[in-house]
Amino acid sequence: MPICSSSSSSSFSSTKSWILHGLAVGAAVAVALGAHAYLGRSGKFRSRVIGIIPARFASTRFQGKPLVQILGKPMIQRTWERAKLAETLDQVVVATDDEKIAECCRGFGAEVIMTSESCRNGTERCNEALQKLDKKYDIVVNIQGDEPLIEPEIIDGIVKALQAAPDAVFSTAVTSLKPEDAFDPNRVKCVVDNRGYAIYFSRGLIPYNKSGKVNPQFPYLLHLGIQSYDTKFLKIYPELTPTPLQLEEDLEQLKVLENGYKMKVIKVDHEAHGVDTPGDVEKIEQFMRERNMA
């Protein structure tokens, strides 16, 4: 899954401007739909938010990935530390089915929820973890465990986008796709409509023009792994039958779209780095060294 990081202070400003634009559009939709009908006792829509980091040891591409060292720290620890900086999260937990990961996380102070090995993806693991918590939440943010440079501003951005769009049950983030990643199936692409809602996700290049080549003038979008859900929807997600497009692309967010649910998308101006294979570790460590990131 992609990993998101900013390379300069200007990038932070650009990211915030994109997020604010997305929130403004979402807020207009909320007003049009009568968002007051959704408000709870607090007077805020979907105000209680938890971040869950699903992590598993077994992986066909990179076994034990959450525990791999990134400049002296386990990757899962770096992800947790970044998530804790988000202002919108009331709580951050790690959900895992592996005792080695659980022991590591408890060692650096994270709260751990043990989940079953039968979870087919991170969304189902988040749902199981949610059911085991004593507190009730309105939004769950699924923070990929292989995102050691995730920016807290992006976490806050997708939470606020979902809070501002009562017709959506899901929110996520995209950034500009680099030309060299256009045909990499590990880099998931996304297309959105004029109101900032997802149309489709694919491992292939979308849109795909008749020349079969990358159009350097087209603003292709790269999906970042982070996503948030309305908890009511999350509870029914595992009961939804797997869909043809979801199975063909092996992308769980397609099951949401194929079942007719809406997904809000914000664009952020951040560099994206994937830790999908062992070879990606050296790349991200080099990235961090160049920017003096401890």
| Residue-wise burial string across 182-215, b where 16 or more C-beta atoms lie within 10 A, e elsewhere | bebeebbbbebeeebbbebbbbebbeeeeeeebe
Q: Is the pLDDT reported for residue 3 higher than 50?
A: no
For position 57, what pLDDT does the model report?
81
pLDDT tens per residue across span 97-150: 999 999 999 999 999 999 998 888 888 999 999 999 989 999 999 998 888 989
Percent of the chain with pLDDT over 70: 83
Mean pLDDT computed over 266-279: 80
249: tokens are 């692309």
Residue 32: pLDDT above 70?
A: no
> Which residues neighbour 78 within 8 Å (Cβ) at sequence distance 6 or greater?
70, 148, 149
Q: Which of the residue ranges 36-40, 162-166, 233-237 would you say has the lowest mean pLDDT?
A: 36-40
Higher pLDDT among residues 245 and 273, named by residue = 245
Can you give the pLDDT at residue 12? 42
Amino acid occupying residue 200: Y
User: Would you state the pLDDT for residue 14?
Assistant: 44
Compute the distance between CA of residue 238 and CA of residue 124 in angstroms, rounded to an integer. 6
Residue 44 pLDDT: 72
Q: pLDDT tens-digit profile of 175-192?
A: 999 999 999 998 999 999
Residue 65 pLDDT class (50, 70, 90 cuts)? confident
pLDDT band at 60 (very low <50, low <70, confident <90, very high): low
Q: For the ranges 62-71, 135-144, 168-177, which has the lowest average pLDDT?
A: 62-71
pTM: 0.82
Question: Under 8 Å CB-to-CB from 208, ≥6 apart: which residues?
Answer: none
Residue whose pair of structure tokens reads 């607090």 in the numeric block: 42
Distance of CA 12 to the CA centre of its chain: 18
